[in-house]
Amino acid sequence: MQSDVVCNVQEKAGIPKTWILLDSQSTVDVFCNPRLLNNIRDAKRQLILHCNAGTTIVTKKGDLKGYGTVWFHPQGIANILSLSNVSKKYRMTYNSGNKDEQGLVVHKEDGSKGIFRPSKKGLYYSDMAHGVRTIMVHTVDSNKSKYSVRQYSRAKKARSLQDIIGRPSTEDYIK
């Protein structure tokens, strides 16, 4: 029942429980929706979280598929990824022109993208409402179906060579 209470609090704040916010003012990644995480567990150390509403102690962590470990605080009102932390892991751009990709774009090394779109209130979010999706990851099968067998085989050989020579960034490898 506790997760139902959390979801009601979150939705009263005007943030759907399925949204993941990309927050430029946050220094930690913290989630309140357990359905977006795997392997929720006690953390080895605690986090003292300071925000406008005061201070709270967070003692659990979970894994966000396609991203990594985040803090888990079921009494929170939003699922938040720190812009600073995301930009340390992935290249990011801002797209203000193309309506299909308008927002903050996260580029993964495999060529896939995650897009955080602006809400009507100005929050940048990615909505996981269509089932628990993997954030910022496309499946191999969906990518593979776009190419011929020959193109796919050559791409696998190129990635293998990239691993062998020390995993330079894809940009450096192409050069």
Over residues 35-58, the pLDDT tens digits come to 999 999 998 998 888 877 778 888
> Whole-angstrom Cα distance, residue 37 to residue 26?
19
User: How far apart (Å, rounded) are the C-alpha atoms in residues 167 and 18?
Assistant: 35
> Which one-letter amino acid corresponds to residue 66?
G
Percentage helix, strand, coil for the chain under 3-state DSSP, each rounded to 5: 30, 35, 35
Q: pTM of the prediction?
A: 0.66
Mean predicted lDDT score pLDDT of the chain = 78
Average pLDDT (17-33) is: 91
- Each residue of 81-100: pLDDT tens digit? 999 999 998 888 888 876 66
State the average pLDDT over residues 62-71.
Answer: 90
Token pair of 61 as six digits: 């962590």
The angle at the Cα of 166, spanning 160 to 169, to the nearest 5 degrees, equals: 85
Task: Locate all alpha helices (DSSP H) within the chain, ordered by sequence.
Answer: 2-12, 83-89, 140-144, 149-164, 170-174
57 contacts 47 by C-beta, under 8 angstroms: yes
Q: Alpha-carbon distance 102 to 115, whole Å?
A: 8
Strand partners, 102: none
Q: What CATH number should be reported for the domain whose range is 2-134?
A: 2.40.70
